[in-house]
Structure 1
Amino acid sequence: MEIFTKGERVREGPPRAGESRYSYLNASAREEAAIARRTVEDWLADYPAGNFSHWLGDFQSADDGQHQSAFFELFLFQFFSKSGCEIIAVEPSFEGQKGNPDFHLRDKVGREFIVEAISPNFSADINKGKEKLTAEIKDAINSLPINNHLLILEKIEAPFESINKKRLADALLQWIANNPDENDLFEYRDKGALVQLKAIARRGLEASSRSHRPIAVEMGDVSISTPGMEIRRGLEKKPRSTEI
């Protein structure tokens, strides 16, 4: 099974709004992406064949949380291997244990221990539906042939269902055709969605057909994060510790 698709890659631009991390890594022709792909393939050379299929499914997932967890597991596999630990098993099973920890290891002096790694996903499940809908709106805007202006996304609120992208595109292109100045505000509402944009003329700048996208800046809201909370939630979903 292939980790990444084969063939020539020509895509130089940034990821699309809402595009999964694996999808972009697999498609990008940038040198940084090529290095990342080679690194993953090199690290998998010694990975247990019996665990590969399950790992690959997580790594190729469109869910970034699953993808990142799979990469973190592969990173830890390399870390423990290079640190001189014997990896007795990946995702071992123990009698009376619900679920499987990540590793069963033996260190240099013969001590055995279990590792259960937590890779917190800071995007709560309840927000994923809203994120998908706002990503669809951003993709619709970024697909438009707006080459003479840079857009500032002042605010975006998710709709309760998918909106008519063509209607949004027509309204935005008409607004751009009127050559708005930097203080003009484009505002669009549909099915609970709110999109507010400003435009800056691209004076003296050449738009690249391969990497340019209209939205150049996104203004974000202030967010509050409680240290350790996401890790705690992740631990609560994991199996209880096992003694050997």
Structure 2
Amino acid sequence: MSRDDLRVGLSPLPIRMRDLLCGLLKRSLRKRDAFVSAFDDIERTDIEPASHLISRADYLNASARPEAARVRIFVDQLLDQYPAAKRDDLVRRIRSRDDSHHRSACFELLLHGLLVARDFTVVEVEPPLPGGRSPDFLVAAPDGREFFLEATVAEGEIGADPGADRRMRDVLQAIDQVESPDFFLNLHHRGAPAQPVRCRHLRTQVQRFVNGLDYESAVADFAEQRPGQVFNFEEHGLTLRITVVPKHLRQASGRAIGGRILPGGVVQPHLPIKAAVESKASRYGQLDRPYIIAVCALETFANADSAIDALFGTEAVIVTENGDHRLVRNCDGAWRGSKGPIHTRVSAVLSAERLTPWDVGQRQMRLIHNPWAARPLSNLPLGVEVCEVVEDRLKKVPGLSLAEIFGLSSHWPE
């Protein structure tokens, strides 16, 4: 069977048969040309959603859901296009149980796949530069123009404590493991745990709370929209409030947490993007070719406007004494500071939000040109949306979706 059979011939097959056949084909290809898969050749039976503690890599590797199988095949297709000399290192990072490493590796793989799909040539992965540092790719456009491409992931809030996030995941997992056949648990929380929470103690308390609930009374309260019983918990700066919703089908198995209400606050999704661009802007010193930074923003509320704000500055309104007003941008962007243009070594930014192999069918990318770039790079046929300044105004030219570029359904991976 050919490699094209591996790519397109597996979709109609039942999931276990497809995984088995995929494993057989991979072993055959591995003998023939050192094909490297990012996943284990195992029988998969788990169709449950991911728990709060399992890493993204482990879940993708182990899940027997049809969607996961399609994602695994897609990832391996992209790996098959990746330079063989660099595959092992990328696979190691894709398989990492550190979600940050996993996300960044997948983003680099998707970028490489985008370039290949649009007939760009990756001249070299991690080309060495004076000083010992290497950007991710040296790329040649279809017309022969070369440029450096660096990938980075803009994660979470500026100044957020990664340890607090891990401790919060432990808390969520402890609550989710509570046996709750009659109720879904709605979780409201404020603050972040500054130290590890006594999760076993927390789980015992929540279990005792659930066990003491009366199902019929809870149903009546819910129907009449009366407030029901509440569980409260505080420890190390974390405040939890748990309410319950009666299940329609009692004794149904599954996870206990039915809903999670995130704490309120000021949302500034442009700040992680700005920080990510600034951290890479001068990393490689003076370059002899144009330089593009690709940024994947992970913040929940990040969108296309967040990237524009991060680069050109946040929007503001100037109001004159006579009441006239006009929109302007503050001098707080990665490309424009209080003294004028900065980071002019960056030719453009290729931005996306929450892009992973799971949701590539629903995501867009855009190429945002730096109008003050020392080495501008225009008319790149990447196929994505293009944003550039024309006559002092930002002009947007629509592009293809990533689903169209990769030949996937917009419902991918369903």
The reply to whether TM is greater than 0.5 is yes
2:118 is the counterpart of 1:118: no
Offset at 1:206? 5.4
Query: Contact 1:87/1:104 (CA < 8 Å) preserved in 2?
Result: yes
Counterpart of 1:226 in structure 2: which amino acid? Q
Output aligned runs, 1:25-44, within 5 Å. 25-44=60-79
State the shift of 1:49 in Å. 2.1
Is 1:185 equivalent to 2:220 in the alignment? no
1:107-186 equivalences in 2 (<5 Å): 107-124=141-158, 126-155=160-189, 157-179=191-213, 181=218, 183-186=228-231
Select the structure with the greater relative contact order (CA < 8 A; seq sep ≥ 6).
Answer: 1
The 5 Å alignment of 1:37-116 reads: 37-94=72-129, 96-97=130-131, 99-116=133-150
The change in CA–CA distance for 1:190 and 1:117 in structure 2 (over 3 A counts) is: closer
Percent identity between matched residues is: 26
Aligned to 2:279: 237
Question: Alpha-carbon deviation of 1:122?
Answer: 2.3
- Residues of 2 paired with 1:163 and 1:107: CA distance? 52
RMSD between superposed Cα atoms in Å: 2.3
What TM-score results when the alignment is normalised by the length of structure 1?
0.87
| CA pair 35-173 structure 1, distance change in 2 beyond 3 A | same
**For 1:70-121, what per-residue CA distance to the aligned partner results, in whole angstroms no more than 9, with x for missing partners?**
1111111111112112211011112x25521121122222222211233322
For the Cα contact (< 8 Å) 1:18–1:131, is it kept in 2?
A: no
SS at match of 1:118: strand
| Residues 42, 223 of structure 1: alpha-carbon distance in 2 compared, 3 angstrom cutoff | farther
Q: Distance in 2 between matches of 1:177 and 1:198?
A: 14
Q: Is the 8 A contact 2:158 2:272 kept in 1?
A: no
Structure exhibiting the larger radius of gyration computed from Cα positions: 2
Deviations 1:167-222 (A, max 9, x none): 222222221122163521101234444322011221335513xxx10000001123
Summarize the Cα distance change of 1:117–1:167 in structure 2 as closer, same or farther, 3 Å threshold: closer
* Ranges in structure 2 where 5+ consecutive residues have no aligned partner: 1-35, 219-226, 290-414
Secondary structure, counterpart of 2:52 in structure 1: coil
- Please give the alpha-carbon distance, in whole angstroms, between the structure 1 residues aligned to 2:123 and 2:95: 26
- 1 or 2, which has the higher strand percentage? 2
Do the aligned partners of residues 225 and 155 (structure 1) sit closer, same or farther apart at CA in structure 2, a change above 3 Å counting? Answer: closer
> How many correspondences in the alignment?
240
Instruction: Please say if residues 118 and 231 of structure 1, whose CA atoms lie closer than 8 Å, have aligned partners that are also in contact.
Output: no
Q: Out of 42, 57, 61, which is 1:22 matched to?
A: 57
In the aligned structure 1, how far is the partner of 2:119 from the partner of 2:236? 57
